[in-house]
Structure 1
Amino acid sequence: MSGALVPADEFAAGAADVSGAEGAAGPAGWDDAPGPAVAPAAGRTPVPGARSIRRYTARVARRRSGAGIGEVLGDVYYAVVMTAIGLGVALGLAGHLRTTLPHVPDQALRSGISLPTVVAVVAVVVAGVVLSLSARLGPVGAGGAEATWWLGTPVDRRGLLRPASLRLPVAAGLVGGVVLALLDGGLLADHGLGHVLRLGAGAALVCAALVLLAGHLQSRGVPRRATALAGDAVIAAAPVLALVAALAGWRVAALPDVAWWVLVALAAAVAGAGFWLDTRLGRIRGRDLRESGSVASQAAGALVSLDSRELGRALSDSAARPRRRRVRRMRLVRGPVSAVVVADLTVLLRSPRHLVQLVVSALVPVVVVITPQLAGAVGVVLAVLVSGYVGMLATGEGARRAEMAPVVDRLLPLSAQAVRRARLIVPGVAMLLWSVASFAAVGRWEGAVGPWLLLGVVSAPVWAAASLRAAYRPSPNWEGPLVATPMGALPGGVAAVLARGPDVAVLGMVPVVLSVALGTVLPVVVAVQAGVSAIALAVGASTSTKTMMDRMAEATDAAEAEKKRGTR
């Protein structure tokens, strides 16, 4: 039956088999829906409506899943409780961070940028992320069985695609509203609960409107890549706006209060945009729907399997240029090592998302040190570690693709360890540039740029090693015993797998953390950092996939075996 259309009478018969007595009435069991797109032939059952097809598919899926109403309600209850706990923890962390921020006198607040300005910049970043992700994941798509069976039926696509067109706007609105409400209520806490709720509702409506805008562009044939690049441009512009505001002396005293009539107007506008998009769903090409649906399915599968590398590939490939009009001669290639380096550099330059990610992460410490309320030891340490890790992830795309398809690496006249050493070059150079920008800002904040630049240059190899270690980490073993967790059943040892990469970054940056805490760079700390960087490079270039616990267990077993042989 694959690829063939099911006649309407057979479809109705299948519905009768699933729905039991309710479906035994034949066509009368289907609900009233718009007329069929194709007139039924004489003696044939009329084609059912789109809503009936969706209900029939959902009924079959529920029947074959074996999950009862009790299990569904239990899952919903568990999700609601865990969401409430997560929001409470996030609100508590934001409040704790607010209390640990250094007290800044009023005279110091007149220089740099204010904390509400930083929150406003974060709001711009959230808007760019929503627009970029909505273009990469859809915003309207049909993947898997939906694309195979639904798009080929002689039914109006509006009814079939309506749930898919509402899924992303609702999700983006919820996430965007919660993030802005947490930042306002937990980090600023300068207004009452009503202000926080109105601001969160306004942010939710704006995020939903951005997704609907991406849907309208998709219905008009605008390439999803162009919409994604527009979102990336908004993300890149956010820290630049912060720097311009600092230079020009602009600052936001407090986030504006959103009036109720503004919320009503935004809600009406979002409802009108949603209705307008609903009228244009039938104009989206089937190829675009299949591409969007496949990307969303790939991203969902990566999240379920806890594979961040696959998630990154899905988001990058969805906005990649489908064809190249120019041929690069690769004149820099002089041997196998240079071929690996040029290939990694080409992959990085052809991914605008990673370039934006690298630039924005380098500007985060700059924004933190020019914000008096954030420019403390805790704020600077968090800014360096978090932004450094985010920038590091952008530099390892070549290694991640090589881990997925190592056939090209195996054709090179190099050993596996030599290939990994060659793949350290591009992340090392990129993170060296990142360290120069970030540590120059930290050094200016501390009052001595030279020593901090030296410390940043010496610590740059740690990020490269962490990038390579994260790219070549093994996948979780789903064939072994599973462990019950708040996120569901997960394979044993998944935490050790996910920690490969972040462990090197955290341990390797301990001298930097100590220097920020001390407020100065000591020569002995620079020497220790150089040694730690050398060890990190050796760990990052290693081809062993065993964890530290496995190595310790093997060393213990070998020592016991050697002891037994000695006693004999």
Structure 2
Amino acid sequence: MAPDRDPVRLARDVVIFTRRSARQYNRVRSSARDLFVDVYSNALAGACVVMMVASLVVALRNEIAARSIHETSLVAMRWQVLPAGILWMALTYLAFVGIVVVARRLGPVTVGQAEGAWWLPLPIDRRPMVLPSFLRRLGAVGVVASVSYVPFSLLTALDRSPSAHVGAAATFGGGTVLAVAGAAVLQLAPASRALRASIFVGLVPVAVLPFVAAAIWPLVLVGVAATMLVAYVLHRAGAVRGSELQRGGAVSGHAVASIFFIDVNELRRSLVAERASGVSRRGSRYYARPPRRALTAVVRADVAAFLRLQPPPTAALVWQGICVGVALVTPALPVFLQLTVILIAGCVTTAGTGTVARRTAVIPELDVLLPVSPVLVRCSRTLMPALAMAAWMGALTAALAVLGAGPPSLVLLGALAGFGMGAGAVRAATRPATDWTTPPVETPFGSVPRGQLSSLLRGTDMTVLAMVPVLLALYVGVVHPWLILAQIIASATAIIVQVSTPPSR
């Protein structure tokens, strides 16, 4: 083949031509003033975020350092048997696993919709087309992961030197690059469960290396492993199937657009994995029973949809294990920090039960066609998330009660809180979209659309309200009768607010 017909050189020429044309197109429609305003706003917002995070980390670090090693926490002292290092390593491993799962969903070797229509049909090498964006993603993920690990390192290792913190953060960043490269390897064999299991097992020793920061060899080892795996992917990136490249590009574009428009529901929809090819029959017998009333049919449909569409409870069980592990860790963490972890776990798990509600919220006009009152339809939507969260909170509070965090009546308090949290999940699934027609409000973090904060807090506010009484009971260690009454009022308020508020979409 003649040199001017080299497929690699031709592919590079196509990529260079496309990106040069895109830069010229953007340069013509952008002004220096707009560029300056964007850079200034982003720099100011970034500086504000860094200052707030730094002040919070310093305050938490001082609080943890001032505590006595024998000071009690939520549970009895005899139960604090889990070394802190084991918990931090487990959390680091879970972070790596989460990065692999999210990166596999997003790509990471992808092409956009326009690139897929313009590049993929050409009979040329695809590597020059997909490698630049893949390398940029690797670099961005490694830098962001390293910077994000610094606060975690400062709070979990008080005796480290500044250079050791930097080494641990760099090691974690290298492990993140290794995880993303592992997700790229999975693109080459999408159906290989053995390969997925091997990658998850191989990340176990990588999760230990950031905690051996006193030496330089962990960073070198992670760097060598990441370089070898990235080199393997770079050599075979052109073998990724075109359908997989387009799928990842569609998911990445959907996620980026959701972040740009500050739409959390759309972001969760974009990250939901495809269902298995087989048809689920969970709840089929219950759904097949002849209903006597229209409301019964709606309830059965919602129950069957929840059983079939709800993802496995892996994430919920992981968060429950994190809450219990934080209570068992020694030396004990501050009580307010343990309660904060429980609050975050409750909010995240609650959001995960709104899958059916988020899908039905896309076309709310269909609910109007049902021969049932809209209030009863919203009650039906709330039933299964409320039962699921009642079971989750009941199991969590039962474990904490066994560990000495409170009396057995704490389980009742947790179950009651779960009903209100389930209502918060459905309320969050119907939060209104951002209104871009109103003038924005200038904040230290940049321009924010009016009403955006209230929209983002919709649903989360009821979830937090439902958890306040049980968190107070955990803090005082006693379940007073007025706390049970307050819990009933809080959960009832969350349910009433949810069923009485029409959807905004």
- TM-score range, shorter-chain basis? 0.7 to 0.9
User: How many residue pairs get matched?
Assistant: 486
**Counterpart check, 1:259 vs 2:215:** yes
**In the alignment, does 2:308 pair up with 1:346?**
yes
Task: Give the aligned partner of residue 539 of structure 1.
Answer: 497
Residue in 1 that maps onto 2:238: 282
2:274 maps to what in 1? 320
Gaps of at least 5 residues in structure 1 are: 1-32, 40-45, 239-251, 547-568
Q: How far 1:66 moved relative to its partner?
A: 1.7
1:337 aligns with one of 299, 317, 332: 299
2:356 is matched with which residue: 392, 398, 406?
398
1:509-557 residue CA offsets vs partner (Å, 9 max, x unmatched): 33223323322110121122112221221111123358xxxxxxxxxxx
Q: Which amino acid aligns with 2:109?
A: V
1:180 aligned partner:
149
Residue of structure 1 in register with 2:61 after alignment: 98
Cα distance between partner residues in 1 of 2:69 and 2:107: 45
Deviations 1:136-194 (A, max 9, x none): 10011112222222223454321111122113322321232223322112343211011
Once the two structures are superposed, residues 338-368 of structure 1 have per-residue CA deviations (whole angstroms, 9 ceiling, x without a partner) of 12222122211xx23xx22221222232112
Q: How does 1:409-488 map to 2 (within 5 A)?
A: 409-446=367-404, 448-488=406-446
Matched, 1:303 2:303: no
**Partner secondary structure for residue 424 of structure 1:** helix
TM superposition shift of 1:490: 2.8
CA distance in 1, matches of 2:168, 2:78: 24
% identical equivalent positions: 28
What is the distance in 2 between the residues matched to 1:397 and 1:234? Answer: 32
* Structure 1 residue 204 corresponds to structure 2 residue 173: yes
| CA–CA distance in structure 2, aligned partners of residues 134 and 225 of structure 1 | 16
Relative distance call for 1:328 and 1:117 in structure 2 (3 A) is: closer
- Following superposition, the deviation at residue 397 of structure 1 comes to 0.7
Indicate if the aligned counterparts of 1:409 and 1:419 stay in contact, CA closer than 8 A: yes
Q: Which residue number corresponds to residue 549 of structure 1? A: none
Alpha-carbon deviations, 1:103-129, whole Å to 9, x = none?
222996994223333222221121011
Change (3 A) 1:92 1:269: same
2:90 to 121, 131, 139: 121
Q: Which has the higher contact order (CA 8 A, sep 6+)?
A: 2
CA distance 1:310–1:149, shift in 2 (3 Å): same
TM-fit CA distance, 1:372: 3.9
Contact 2:11/2:125 (CA < 8 Å) preserved in 1?
no
Conserved? CA contact 1:98–1:186, under 8 Å: yes
CA distance in 2, matches of 1:469, 1:234: 40
Q: For residue 87 of structure 1, what is the aligned residue in structure 2?
A: 50
Where structure 2 has 5 or more consecutive residues not aligned to the other structure, the ranges are 290-296
| Cα distance in 2, alignment partners of residues 328 and 106 from structure 1 | 48
Distance 1:524 1:290 in 2: 57
Matched, 1:502 2:467: no
**Normalization by structure 2: what TM-score?**
0.86
Specify the alignment match of 2:292 in structure 1: none
Distance 2:425 2:195 in 1: 29
Aligned residue in 2 for 1:359: 317
Shift in alpha-carbon separation, 1:224–1:385, aligned structure 2, 3 A: farther
Which residue identity is paired with 1:125? Answer: L
Report deviation, 1:266. Answer: 3.0
Indicate how the Cα distance of structure 1 residues 377 and 38 shifts in structure 2: closer, same or farther if over 3 A, else same. closer
TM normalised by structure 1 equals: 0.77
CA distance in 1, matches of 2:443, 2:88: 33
Check whether the contact 2:170–2:219 (CA below 8 A) recurs between aligned residues. yes
Equivalent residue, structure 2, for 1:242: none
SS at match of 1:331: helix
SS at match of 1:323: coil
Query: Residues 225 and 321 of structure 1 are in contact (CA less than 8 Å); yes or no, is this contact kept in structure 2?
Result: no
CA distance in 2, matches of 1:262, 1:376: 31
Note the C-alpha offset of 1:277.
Answer: 1.8
Q: Which has the larger radius of gyration?
A: 1
Mapped partners of 2:400, 2:185: distance in 1: 44
Task: Find the aligned partners of 2:106 and 2:116 in 1 and give their Cα distance.
Answer: 15
Matching residue of 2:185: 216
